[in-house]
Structure formats: structure tokens, C-alpha cells
Structure 1
Amino acid sequence: MILKGKLVHQGIEVPDSSRSYCGSAAKQPQVISFDEIIWAETVGNAINLSYIQLNADKTKGELRMTRLRIEDEEPQSGASPPVYILNEAYADSKRQKRLYVIVNPHSGPGHARKLYHDHAEKLLKAGRCEITLQTSNYIGHAEELMKDLDIEQYDAIVCVSGDGLPHEVMNGLAKRPDGAHILATTPICQLPGGSGNAMCYSLNGTVDVSVACLNIIKGVAMPTDLMAITQRNRPTRYSFLSQSWGIVADCDLGTDSWRWMGSFRFELGLLIKLISGNTYPCKISYKLACPEERKSVIAYFSENKASGISQKLDEHSLDLKYGTVDDQIPQDWTVETHRDMVNFYVGNMPWMSSDAIVFPYTLPQDGAMDMITWDSDVKFFEGLQRFIAMTKATHVNNPRLIYRKVVAYRLEPLSEHYLSVDGESYPCEQFQVELLPRAGCILSRGDYAAVP
């Protein structure tokens, strides 16, 4: 069936036989948005159109294909209708991206391979992406693959996994002689194949695979801040998401053997740890990016959000301004000892899972990390309420939860517990973290989707 289409400002107007008007069988027009269109080409006497139809709040999508004939006059640009449609649909985004796709079949509940082959692959191919497929076979494999990858042959690296695989990819690229340049100019993306999928949710506002594919197909490369981590006698590592010490790290890494449960393992681990009443003594030192009063944090966020998101890619140094964990703590840092710490959490993206917007005041290029701390002045139900409040970001209103913007910090564990970096286990020893402005690269469709 060939539909009659009309070019309008937002896209292509076509009849929608699925709707009725005032109870009649009359067809009511719908508009296929340019934002949803991923390919158009003339085949025979009609245009073959591929698009990902989004729901009202753009959290779910479905691949659609239709044949149509443009009934009105040629576009004013003089281009043929398919060329005009693609120009409007892609604007500044590169078409037919060359993707290096890495699938981790062991991520989360183990569904990553099925998710890719049953869903993601056909979407990426419908957008005419060129795909090189690779499987990550063991821990550290992706990091090894990055050392010799001919990066000039690809427009983006796509991780079908949880948040651990992007962490490996990033650190593998950083080891190369041209690591700083590659990290700053090569987008690293995620299709939601793990338990947490925080990168996917932070960039898309959903973990729906169709929406994530649309962001990859049509996204524009955008700089993002990274974080450099040093520990004694170890090479510098890089983090894009978070570091946690305390109850969150225990709920994550302490439930690793429960990955078959999916994201529910976090909730179950949380209940167990809250009941146990564990504390996590540590010493923290930090340099503030702005005063720690909540109004100052909000002002910092608002000012950076108002300045907009830059899409200019340029190489930024991976050199450390504040030294390493082996150096003396600078005199202008604040030093605190917490004997009863319950949760120490630092993040560089807003969502840590699909139901937890932990850091609502973070932005991809604001030059700061968001730090949350709370001590053991809470009972079981209040602690549970704080975590429930993270689903709507209202936890930041709690006066006993401290929310800071920092540019660097150091943590010294005073007991033996888990230390989590981007959801990966790190040695439980003193470490220092420094914000590296605009040192990384992601894909985004015009804005940072999940910023409140």
C-alpha cells in the first residue's frame, strides 16, 4: 500500500487509518516527525520510509516502515523529496555511521546478545549504519581490543552491556599514545544490556532499546567531563559515571553473584544492608567547585545549564592539576573524618539506574563532580525513604544529606569494604579523583536528555 504524503514543517503528514474522527471511519492525518525518520529512498514509483515511532513522552519506540508518494510540489530547496527528507531528518548529524559494536554476553542477567540480535541490529541497519560486531569474551577483553583498534574507521563505539564495558573501553583507549585525542573525539555509547544501564538512561531518559538506537543513529558527538582516579602503585584510571563507598557499593558489588535477578538485586541488597546497620568509616578531603549550601549548588547548576551544551570537539589534556594520591593534600582542601559514614557517592551523570536519579544537578560539561554523603544518624525506615526519594530526586531536599559540587577529592577507607568505580570493583585502599573537563565524548540528539 502506498500512502499519500505531504511535506510539512515538522515532518511528513500522512493519513492515519488507526484513528477515527468523532466516531466515524474518517481518516485523521498524523505527522511522521523528522526527528523519528532514520532513512528515506526512492524505490520504483514511491519512497521507502523507515522511522522509529515514539510514544508521547519519548520513552518507548517502535521501528516502522512505509511506502509513500509525496503529493505536493517539490521542496523549495530544489532537492528531491528523499534528499530533502534526509537533510531535515539528520541536520548536523552524520548519516550511515560506522559503528564498532561490542556485545558483553555476560552483562547483568545475560540478555545482551539476544537484545542486540533480536532488536538493536535491525534498527541500526534500518538507519543504514555500517556495523563491525565484536564479542567481549572475558573481563578486560574490551580494554585489550582498544589498544590496536583502527579508530579512524569508526564514528562511534557502541557497548551492548551494563556500565562496566564502557569503563573498559574508555580505559583501553586512554592507554594509547593518542589516548587523549581519541577519548575527546570518539563517542562511546551504550545499548542497555546490563543491570544498571546508567549511561543509557542518563543520555536518553529511558532504557528502551529503540530510543537508544535512535540516539546512536542520529546523535551528534558531544564532549563530556571525565574523572581521573589514582591509587598507590597503580596506573591512572578513568571513570565516566561514579565512585561509591559504603552502602551503595555493598549493594552493587556485594550482590554480584545475583546478576541473574537483573536490577532487583540492588533493591534486595539495599534492604539487607539497611537492616544490618553497617557503617563505613573513612577520611575524605575535597576541593569545592562552589559553596556547599544547597542554593549555591542549584545556582551553579542553573548557570551552567543556561549556558547550553557545546558540541565543539577538541583535545583536552589528561594531565592532573592536583597531583596523585601520593602527593600531599593541598592546603585549600577541606578534610573530614567520618566514623559513621553510611553512604559516600560521587557521580558525573544524573541517573545511576532506571529508577534512581541520584545526581539531579550534574551536567556533562559543568566542570564539577557531584558528591553526596550521609552519616549513620538515620534509622531503617528513614534510610529506606531516602533511597525511595531518589526515584524523583527529592532526596536532595533532606537537610541531613550533604550535596556538594567538587573538582577533586581523596578518600581513605578506615575499614575493609567494597569500593565501586562505574560499577566495577577497585582495591579497597586510598584513592584520589580529579575532574577532567571535556575529556570524553558521547552521542546526544541536541541536548542532555535526562537533565531535569
Structure 2
Amino acid sequence: MADSQMGKDVSIALEDGYSDSKEHVYLEETFYILSKKNSVFRVRLTSKGLSLTKEAEGKKKEQTILLRDIIGSKCMRSKRRRPGASSCVCSSLVGSQQLKVVDENSGDLDENDISAYLYIYAYILKQSRRTLKRERTTITLRFRSYDKYEDNNKEAQKWRTTLKCLIAGRSITSVPPPNDKKLLILLNPKSGPGKARELFQTKVAPLLQEAEVPYDLHVTKYAQYAREFVRTRNVYSWRGIVAVGGDGVLFEVLNGMFERLDWQQALAEVPLAILPCGSGNGLSRSICHVYNEPYIPQNLTGPTMALARGKTAPMDVVRIETKTKIMFSFLSVGWGLISDIDIESERLRAIGSQRFAVWAVARLVGLRRYKGVLSYAKIKDVSNLPKPKQPFTLSHSISQDGALDSPDAEAFIDCDEHAEVFTSAANGKHQRVDSWYSVNSRRSAFFSTRGSEYHSVTSDGSELRSPVHACMHGPASHLPSLMSQLPSHWVHEEGEFVMVHVSYQSFIGEDFLFAPQSQLSDGVMWMLIIKAGVSRSQLLSFFMNAGHGTHAEGDNDHIKLVPVSAFRIVPEGSEGHLTVDGELVEYGPIQAEIFPNIVNILVPDNK
């Protein structure tokens, strides 16, 4: 049994690290490991993170768990032992799997253990062979300086509250910062290979539980469901809107927001986000690229941490006009080869992103050419553009007084009241607790929706639609009407094209680094032009180099990448595909212009 003055225990595997003596220290304690004689941990909670110094046999080892890698914490109590088990509290520390802890309000508590346990959850960036990845780490602090559990718990809660304030970027108080607003999560179960539900349940929900981020999950039931939802609901009641699926779900959300009369205020106060569960996942891949966040397909740790931390950054949007529609885009506009591959490979969506590579081979064999006129306003110097706004931490909306301003919305606030809804409470029980000594990633996490509120669809299978005729709002165009003459300084190219593809993000797919220089908010669209006459070997080299962003480098008369601020495509004939953010639009004249800093998007806290 440990000496009574050895008041606290800690278990964690330390690696080489460092601590900054100039950082502000909020809390500092000394902890002991009973199973290792003369091992002392000095733990400090600082403005930088959790600083740990191990002292053993005259040697020191230091590590700092960065604040931006810590997702949340929870106070626990030890679990009641089985009859016949050892009555010595400290003996459970000898074996790594013996000590069990449960939630504070559990009915299975060990009343003989007066200790309070603080679990701190972190996802630390670590080098794995050639790439970086996040590894789940659980730091466990045992508080037992006092003779009563209430006093030990008070000390643990002080650490927990301070940590929550630091994570939230709030002033340190004795009361945890409020977390009264939920995330609105719109999940498309048919995105990509159809694994969005499973990925959310196993990858996203457990992390949001650890971060104590409440959410409302709505599963989409039909095309344009997400669009109608954000157009007709009081979006100010949520702290952010998250699209779970492919880029198409966010395309619906974005355009639904622009169909609101209060679009400008809504987009300013309610940030958007995407969790990549589709085939292309271009925007999510681009965000990770810009913010140095590891991107691993079907591993949603980084994007989910962005939801929990609440850091936002501005993003450009592009206003697009066709003969019959106006829409807004965040990713790309395509005509020709890449759009053909995107649309025609839909029949292979069950194999995920591999469908694009398979269909690219087919399209290279049967190469098509398209006649038309391409016009664009070229940006002469991309280095002289205005700098993007700096990211900021999301704050709570105080406008609207809980009321929706759109006159069309009032009658349809509950237009999908029978839809499938899951509700996660901020103080809900954690469904999965790791072992006492766990400091490594759990590879088989599982989250159950048991205890969540659930409403199934109507029994007769009816699909509810909003009868409101939507009207597109948004910023006014600076361009002439679609059929009018363009300004004289525009560049005009007429002839046959294999494709024209315009992107405003760095990636248009998980493995396609389209525009390496692109930022989320730089006011630039990158137009890739491939003219007829290009050889199949050149196109094959183009696709092979796309993963490295070198597809448009070198001296090539047929392939070029041009920075533009606006463009117009007028194809001849009626055969071909035009896509916006991977969605098929009517074939015919189309023009677009970029509007900087219109949308706020949730981003990783790594840059």
C-alpha cells in the first residue's frame, strides 16, 4: 500500500518531448505510480497543453500533449469489485487490465474507493512510416489526497473545468463553459459505397461523446432533402451544419442556405462542415491539405476534431448561371473528360473512389472531343491578391431571437417531423471506456445509439416534400447576362476540347491534386484546358501525375492551367456532360464568377 502522503496516481507512456518554461501554468500537481518504485510524475496544465515530466532514478523525461490535440475529459469512479477480489485499492494498479472505472452516476460504484479519476482524451499526431496519423491516447489521473470522495472529486473537477475552458478558448472560471447549442448533422446513407451510417457510428459519434459535443442527426430520405431542411428551418438554433457523405450533400446544404432571404446572416453566423463518406471527397481532402491534417480515407478523426474544436475559416463560393438556373458551388465546374468519368462511373459507386480510375481507362480508349467557345477573365498575378481572412473560433449566435426570418419558412418548420432523427445529449453516458492503462488507439471502436431519441419514418412510407417554390438569393452577379457580350479584356478560345475543368480547391478528389496553390479563400479559380490533339499517352501521363499536382507542368501545347476570376463555356450540340461539384447540370451555356469569403467552414486547428 502506498504512503498516505502520496496523494495521486498517474499512468501514461511518455515519449521524448519538450515543455516551454514561458507558458502560463494554470494547475500543477505531483502524481505517483505505485507499481513503479520512486517514479514521480509532475503534471502541469498550461496555456500550451498538458505538460508531463517523469522523474525516476535521477533521470527526467518530458512530454507536452498539445492543447489542440486534446478533445475532452471526464471524471470517473472505480467499479465495484467482484466477491472474493482483493480489498486493497492499490493492488489493482499492478495489472493493466484489473482496475475498472465507471461513470460517476453509475449504480455499480465501489464506495470503498474514495479516489476520483480524471480521463483526458487526446488524438496525437504521430509519424507512421511515411505518413502522419492521429493516435488516440488516454491520460488517466487519480486524485486521492483527501479522505472523502467529494473532496477528491472537487479537485478533479477543477482540472476538468480548467481544461474545458482552455479548449473552448474561454476565460478560466469555476464553472465549465456552456455547450447549449448542438451540431446539425445531415447524413446521406447512400453516399459513395453506402457506408456513411457505419462510419458515423463507429468513427464520429464516439469522439463527439468524448468531446461532449451534442448533435442532432437527421438521415436524408430523398434527393434535395438537406436543401429543403436548411432552407425551411431555424438554423440559428444550431452551432454548425455538418454534411455527412459526399460533396453532393454539402452542395445541397450550401444552395439551401442561399435560398433563404436571410442567407447573408445565416452563412455568417452558422458555419458549414463536411465529413467525407462519399467517393470523391474533394473539399475535405482540400481542407486537410491546407491545414496540414493527415487525410486517411474512411478515417474521420481529423475532420471530427474540427467539429469539436469549433475553429472556422472563410471560404470562397462561386456563383454559377445556366439558361434556367442559378446555383452556388464550392468545388468545381467541369465539361468533358473528367465530368464524363464522374457521371458515367456512377454505376460503379459500390467500389468507392476506385470507380474513377476504372472509368478513366474506358474513356481514354474511347476519347471524345467537344466543340465550343471558352471565354475567361485571366488573373495576371496571383501573388498580388488580397490575403484571406484569419480563422477564428466559433462563438454563439445571439441574433434572430430564436425566430426564422423567411416568410416562406414558418409553415414548414416541421415539414419532416416523421424523419429519422437521433439526438445526442451533451451529458449523455459514454458508451465505451478504455482500460486504465490505455494509451494507444482503439482500432475497433463501437458506439451504440441506445439511449438516443429515435423517430422512424411514417409507416406508409410516404415522402414529405416542402411545397415552397424556392427562390435563389445570394450576392448579385457582376457579369453580363448569359447570352450577352462579354468584356473586351476577356480571353476567347474556340475549337475542339477534350475537357475544361475549373476548380477552386486544391483537390477535386482524394487522389487528384488539381491546383496545388489553391487556398480556401484566395479569390482564384484554376481552369484546366485540354485541347483536342492531345495524345493518349499525354493524357495517361496527365492522370498519373495528378496525384502529385504535376499534371499541368512542362511545355505542352495542349494542356494548360490558368488562374481566372470568371469564365463562360458555350458548348455546341447537345451531347456531353456539364457538372457542378460533381452534380450533373443542364447541358448548354454556363458562366461563373467567384465571390471571396462568403461562407465560414469548420477547419482543423493545426495551421
TM-score band, normalised by shorter chain? 0.7 to 0.9
Aligned partner (choices 491, 505, 525) of residue 369 of structure 1:
525
2:306 maps to a residue whose letter is N
1:18-97 maps to which residues of 2 (within 5 A)? 30-43=63-76, 45-56=116-127, 59-69=132-142, 80-91=158-169, 96=179
Of structures 1 and 2, the larger Rg is shown by 2
Structure 1's consecutive aligned runs of 4 or more residues displaced over 6 angstroms after TM superposition are: 92-95
How far off its partner does 1:9 sit? Answer: 6.3
| Structure 2: unaligned runs, 5 residues or longer | 1-8, 12-30, 32-41, 77-114, 145-156, 172-176, 290-294, 398-472
**Deviation string for 1:155-213 (max 9, x for gaps)?**
11111101000000111111111112222332211111100111111112314301110
- The DSSP-based 3-state class of the residue aligned with 1:390 is helix
Residue in 2 that maps onto 1:266 = 356
1:247 maps to a residue whose letter is L
2:598 maps to a residue whose letter is A
Aligned pair 1:436/2:595, yes or no?
yes
Conserved? CA contact 1:103–1:112, under 8 Å: yes
In the alignment, the residues of structure 2 paired with residue 364 and residue 120 of structure 1 have an alpha-carbon distance, to the nearest angstrom, of 24
Residue in 2 that maps onto 1:404 = 562
Conserved? CA contact 1:60–1:211, under 8 Å: no
How far off its partner does 1:10 sit? Answer: 4.0
Residue in 1 that maps onto 2:284 = 200
Conserved? CA contact 2:302–2:604, under 8 Å: no
Conserved? CA contact 1:92–1:220, under 8 Å: no
Residue in 2 that maps onto 1:318 = 475
Aligned pair 1:223/2:314, yes or no?
yes
In the alignment, the residues of structure 2 paired with residue 233 and residue 101 of structure 1 have an alpha-carbon distance, to the nearest angstrom, of 31
> How many residue pairs were aligned?
421
In the alignment, the residues of structure 2 paired with residue 223 and residue 217 of structure 1 have an alpha-carbon distance, to the nearest angstrom, of 18
2:362 maps to a residue whose letter is I
Aligned pair 1:425/2:584, yes or no?
yes
Aligned partner (choices 247, 251, 275) of residue 167 of structure 1:
251
How far off its partner does 1:222 sit? Answer: 1.8
1:132 maps to a residue whose letter is D
TM-score normalized by the length of structure 1: 0.85
Describe the shift of the 1:51–1:271 C-alpha distance in structure 2 as closer, same or farther (beyond 3 A): same
- The DSSP-based 3-state class of the residue aligned with 2:552 is helix
| Structure 1: unaligned runs, 5 residues or longer | 72-78
Instruction: Name the structure with the higher helix share.
Output: 1
TM-score normalized by the length of structure 2: 0.64
1:32-431 maps to which residues of 2 (within 5 A)? 32-43=65-76, 45-56=116-127, 59-69=132-142, 80-91=158-169, 96=179, 98-205=182-289, 206=295, 207=297, 208-234=299-325, 236-288=326-378, 290-291=379-380, 296-297=381-382, 299-300=383-384, 307=387, 309-311=389-391, 318-339=475-496, 341-400=497-556, 401-415=559-573, 416-431=575-590
In the alignment, the residues of structure 1 paired with residue 132 and residue 320 of structure 2 have an alpha-carbon distance, to the nearest angstrom, of 34
2:372 maps to a residue whose letter is C
Which has the higher mean CA deviation after the structures are superposed, 323-332 or 411-420? 323-332
Conserved? CA contact 1:2–1:46, under 8 Å: no
Conserved? CA contact 1:408–1:435, under 8 Å: yes
